[in-house]
């Protein structure tokens, strides 16, 4: 499993990095670039009809460290979930988790001027899908739960300790991604179980 076998994950990584580079180049030293200003979640603007921000915010990042950590997490989890569900179903999990995280972040910031952005809501949805796979594939339950729960707990714990992090967005994305994954059937579950069994022998 690599990015070659995960075209949608590769596409999301590419889009995020291109958007980040363009936003930084257009910022002219300012903290908020033009793409961030036009696409981040800002509750008052969304209430005035700019609903696209619920989606565009998921492709924007504030700092290099922000996008670097999100990219690493997406790479680690995305290539596996895309392999298991197939690109089309994985895209549904990712995009609906992105939307769920964006909506939760919007609701939690109503009445505040704080902008919210980042792919972490969608990525939490991908980890939620791994947790769901643990119950869809009982022979791999222990391994999959360990792979899913540790990043989820660490992310939520960091969010609770840091007021600048939207834990509402994380939780919204996690729930949305897990629900979509629960409704969909993985396309390669049997193959992975067979491979794991042969390696164990």
Active site residues: 120, 170
Other C-beta atoms closer than 10 Å to the C-beta of 37 total 16
Residue 59 DSSP symbol: G
**Residues constituting the chain:** 201
Alpha-carbon distance of 159 to 179, in angstroms, equals 22
**Contact residues for 183 (Cβ-Cβ < 8 A; gap 6+):** none
Q: Give the distance, in angstroms, between the CA of residue 83 and the centroid of all CA atoms in the same chain.
A: 16
In contact, 156 and 108? CB cutoff 8 Å: no
**Contact residues for 83 (Cβ-Cβ < 8 A; gap 6+):** 1, 5, 6, 188
Question: Could you tell me the maximum CA-CA distance found in the chain, to the nearest angstrom?
Answer: 61
Nearest residue to 135 via CA among 122, 148, 124, 150:
148
Q: Give the distance, in angstroms, between the CA of residue 53 and the centroid of all CA atoms in the same chain.
A: 16
């Amino acid at each position: 499993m690599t990015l070659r076998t995960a075209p949608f994950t590769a596409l999301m990584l590419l889009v995020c990095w291109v958007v980040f580079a363009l936003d930084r180049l257009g910022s002219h030293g300012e903290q908020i670039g033009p793409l961030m200003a036009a696409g981040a979640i800002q509750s008052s603007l969304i209430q005035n009809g700019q609903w696209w921000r619920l989606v565009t915010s998921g492709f924007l990042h504030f700092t290099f460290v922000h996008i670097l950590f999100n990219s690493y997490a997406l790479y680690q989890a995305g290539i596996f979930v895309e392999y298991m569900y197939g690109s089309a179903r994985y895209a549904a999990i990712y995009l609906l988790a992105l939307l769920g995280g964006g909506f939760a972040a919007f609701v939690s910031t109503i009445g505040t001027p704080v902008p919210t952005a980042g792919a972490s809501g969608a990525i939490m949805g991908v980890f939620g899908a791994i947790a769901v796979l643990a119950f869809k594939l009982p022979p791999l339950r222990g391994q999959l739960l360990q792979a899913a729960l540790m990043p989820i707990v660490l992310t939520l714990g960091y969010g609770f300790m840091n007021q600048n992090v939207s834990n509402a967005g994380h939780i919204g994305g996690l729930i949305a991604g897990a629900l979509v994954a629960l409704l969909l059937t993985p396309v390669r579950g049997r193959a992975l179980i067979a491979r794991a069994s042969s390696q164990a022998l």
